[in-house]
Structure 1
Amino acid sequence: MAQNQSAAEALTGAAQGAVLRPGRSADPAPATELPEADQAADQEVATVEADSIQTDAVPVESIGDADPVQAESRQRTLRLMLRQCDRVLLLDFDLLAMNDWPDNFSVAAARRSRDLWLFSALVAAAIFLSGLTGFVPAWIAGGGFGAFIIILLLGIPAVRRIYTPKPSYLDLLIRRQRMMRDARKHAEHLEGKEGLIWQCARMNDFNPALKNTRFSSLLRLSEQKALPRALSRREHVRLYLIYLLEAEKAYSRVQAAFFEGNQNAIDRGWQEAAAVPEDRA
């Protein structure tokens, strides 16, 4: 009976963990090892969290430990960034994206149709002129003249819309030119007299994408106040749009940092640093 009780107590003690017994040190607690799959999952989660923190972190020093002079200087710098780049909020995405831009396949198909129309008209005109010189019979020349008139009528836009809904080659070219003209006008409106995106480049600490070297030519032209005239191709406009979208992200982060610093300055009683952006005239 005593042996059975001792065995039961030993099993209970082993199930409960380490037991301190007289004359010896405590038994070590059994180490619980995570499965390899769980360890790998934890490592992946840690990596993703680190990447997320690194991506979302805004490289702005907090004014929690700064003195009033540093806080005022920082707020003045942020306020200047907001004033210089506030025109980025006037961005018209649809106008610069040009989603209705005629693609190259449609333009090539319209060009082939135009060439076929011209070739048919020239052949009919040649047959008619040959009849005038006597090389072909008069009835063939008359048929060529009638075919020439019909082909010319088919080329008139009002008549062409009756038998086909596809735009002509000239219509596609006019649409492209109109969209490019509207995009350049909008870019000129955004850039203003002083230029826009080269001033937004000061916010590259808030969005590292603004430091990309592919934007260097745009920044140089914007600083020279010649950017709208240089937007001659759709690729240029799309690149300009990409920069404006990245600048808009940076602007929102600068604005958030400014308001956060302004609230901290108000809480600490720093009236010099607690300022609001001035209204533009």
Structure 2
Amino acid sequence: MALEEQEKQSRINASTLQTEIHVPDQSLPAVSAGKNTSDKTLTAFGAAGIDIDRQNSRKNNEPSENKIDSAHSDSITGVDLDKSTNSKSPERRDTADNSYTLEQLKERNKQLERLSLLKRCEGVVMANYDWLDMPDYPDNAGIVYARRRRDAWIVSCVILFTIFLFGAFGYLPAWIAGSALGALFVLLSLWVDVVRDLLFTVPRYSELMQERRKLEFRALHHIRLLEGNDGLVWKFTDLSEYNAALAKPQYQAIMLQSRNKKLFRYLKRKAHIRLYLMLILEAEKAYSSLKTQYFEKHRELQARGVDDLPAKI
């Protein structure tokens, strides 16, 4: 009996121990499950926080990106506008040309031809008419008279010197030889400018010829400046429409020499320089008529809304 009671008591103790042991075993999973649940909850909250931070950072970065995109789009739009403007600017005049009638286009082309002719012949207004006219140029009568006086002076000196020689060798009386020597001395003194200016005011032959050469050189130098390297008067050929006098043969000959760059072989005398001056005068008349006609037509076309100016002036 005692043994049975001890066995029962031992069984009860064993069951009690098992229950005590099983209770912690059952509680441990719960605790571990609770820990896992808390860890998962913390992980979920951390992930949610990270997602929230990322969303906030994205929201904060979105305005800058939007600004960059907007600025980039604006720059692209500006470039496109510039390209469109630049692409359209050369076509403006073509569009305007297409809007004109055939008669207006003819008038506009005629105006462009007039303007081009004005530019080519603008050198005519630079001519110095006093230098080309040479109003102080000694005339032929004055040259002939001065030459005669010079020849008479030379002959007189030779005669007086011959008389003096005959008297020195005894062929003539001494008083004749002395008188001839005195007269020769007086004539030779007239060669001095100071003495001659006291007695005479008429210029000498050498002075007149020097004045001629000076005026001719100045006129030819001025013509050389007017002509330049390309020539000038040959461009007046188209001006004959506005002045029929330019179609004369003598003027056409000068224009031909100017075109061939042989004009200065032709201009050798005053008559040639005067002919060149007359050509310049006739060309200036035609140039003035062309200029007046151009501006009158320009005002008329502007009033009608027609642009007669070239694309590049």
TM-score (norm 2): 0.63
Looking at structure 2, the residues matched to 207 and 247 of structure 1 have their Cα atoms a distance apart, in angstroms, of 8
Q: How does 1:1-281 map to 2 (within 5 A)?
A: 67-271=103-307, 273-275=308-310, 278=313
What does the per-residue CA deviation read over 1:178-221, in whole Å, with 9 as the maximum and x for residues that have no partner? Answer: 11111111111221211111101111001111111121221111
Q: How far apart in 2 are the matches of 1:242 and 1:252?
A: 15
Offset at 1:275?
4.5
Decide whether the 8 Å contact of 1:265 with 1:274 is kept in 2.
no
Residue 261 of structure 1, CA deviation: 2.7
Task: Give 5+ residue unaligned stretches, structure 1.
Answer: 1-63
**Distance (Å, rounded) in 1 between the aligned partners of 2:312 and 2:151:** 60
Counterparts in 2 of 1:152 and 1:241: CA distance versus 1, 3 Å: same
Give identity over the alignment, percent: 34
| Contact 1:78–1:254 under 8 Å retained in 2 | yes
Structure index of larger Rg: 2
Question: Could you tell me how far apart the structure 1 residues matched to 2:155 and 2:302 are?
Answer: 78
Q: Retained in 2: the 8 A contact 1:262–1:275?
A: no
**3-state SS of paired residue (1:203):** helix
Distance 1:238 1:65, change over 3 A: farther
Paired with 2:243 and 2:312, the residues of 1 have a C-alpha distance of: 21
Asked whether the 8 Å contact 2:164–2:181 carries over to 1, the reply is yes
Gaps in structure 2 of 5+ consecutive residues:
1-99
Distance, in Å, in 2 between the alignment partners of 1:202 and 1:212 is: 13
Deviation of the 1:277 alpha carbon: 9.7
Deviating beyond 4 angstroms after TM superposition, the runs of 4 or more aligned structure 1 residues are: 275-278
| Corresponding residue number in structure 1 for 2:47 | none
Q: Scaled by the length of structure 1, what TM-score is found?
A: 0.69
Task: Measure how far apart 1:149 and its partner are.
Answer: 2.0
In structure 2, the residue matched to 1:53 is none
CA distance in structure 2 between the partners assigned to 1:259 and 1:202 by the alignment: 18
State whether residues 246 and 252 of structure 2, in contact with CA within 8 Å, keep that contact through their aligned partners in structure 1: no
Kindly provide the amino acid, as one letter, of the partner of residue 290 in structure 2: V
Bigger shift: residues 235-244 or 153-162 = 153-162
TM-aligned CA deviation for residue 143 of structure 1: 3.1
What corresponds to 1:58 in structure 2? Answer: none
CA-to-aligned-CA distance 1:235-264 (integer Å, 9 cap, x gap): 111111111111001101111222223223
Counterparts in 2 of 1:164 and 1:84: CA distance versus 1, 3 Å: same
AA aligned opposite 2:208: L
The answer to which of 231-240 and 68-77 deviates more is 68-77
Q: Deviations over 1:135-162 (max 9, x none)?
A: 3344433333332222111122222111
Distance 1:266 1:136 in 2: 97
How many residues are paired up?
214
Task: Map Cα deviations across residues 84-140 of structure 1 (whole Å, 9 max, x no partner).
Answer: 111110121222122222222222211111111001110122122334434334443
**Aligned amino acid, residue 158 of structure 2:** L
Task: Measure, in 2, the Cα distance between the counterparts of 1:65 and 1:110.
Answer: 72
Give 1:230 shift: 2.4
Q: Distance in 1 between matches of 2:176 and 2:136?
A: 46
Distance 1:158 1:84 in 2: 53
Superposed CA RMSD? 2.3
Q: Which structure would you say has the larger RCO, counting Cα contacts within 8 Å and 6 or more residues apart? A: 1
In the superposition, relative to structure 1, how do residues 265 and 69 fare at CA in structure 2: closer, same or farther (>3 Å)?
Answer: same
Please give the alpha-carbon distance, in whole angstroms, between the structure 1 residues aligned to 2:311 and 2:136.
41
